């Protein structure tokens, strides 16, 4: 879980809880990116390979990208907020001696993403 606090909204919410054998455990969040043009829209990338988009204002999960095979090291939007770049690769927490090249992918944030963010937010 991550605890995300914001000066803009004065709240804390938990994200990325994982269930294993009926018990929840914590998944470290490695990066957070705020959409530059949609107030309250953000994505988080975790150590388990998940990228999840959030409506931070309403504390709701919007969508999840397909899981990456390695940890998500970095997420970032372009300046227009319509493209999301994700870097996934080896992390030292995995204690694996062999390092593979990172995987970089770019995802188009389409109109359905924009519409799913809170009403009243503007581009």
Low-confidence residues of the chain, pLDDT below 50? 1-13, 118-123
Give Cα 98 distance to the centre of its chain.
Answer: 26
Instruction: Output the pLDDT for position 39.
Output: 84
> What pTM, to 2 d.p., does this model score?
0.73
* Burial grade of 53 (CB within 10 A; 0-12, 13-18, 19 or more): buried
**How far apart are alpha carbons 78 and 102 in whole angstroms?**
19
Alpha helices in the chain, H assignment, sequence order = 111-116
Domain segments of the chain: what residues? 28-116
């Amino acid at each position: 879980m991550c605890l995300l606090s914001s000066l803009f909204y004065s709240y804390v919410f938990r994200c990325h809880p994982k269930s294993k054998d009926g018990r929840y455990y914590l998944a470290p969040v490695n990066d957070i990116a705020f959409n530059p043009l949609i107030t309250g829209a953000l994505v988080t990338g975790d150590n388990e390979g998940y990228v999840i988009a959030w409506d931070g204002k309403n504390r709701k999960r919007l969508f999840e990208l397909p899981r990456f095979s390695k940890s998500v090291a970095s997420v970032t939007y372009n300046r227009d907020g319509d493209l999301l770049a994700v870097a996934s690769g080896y992390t030292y927490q995995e204690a694996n001696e062999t390092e593979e090249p990172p995987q970089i992918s770019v995802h188009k944030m389409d109109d359905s993403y924009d519409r799913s963010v809170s009403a009243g937010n503007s581009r």
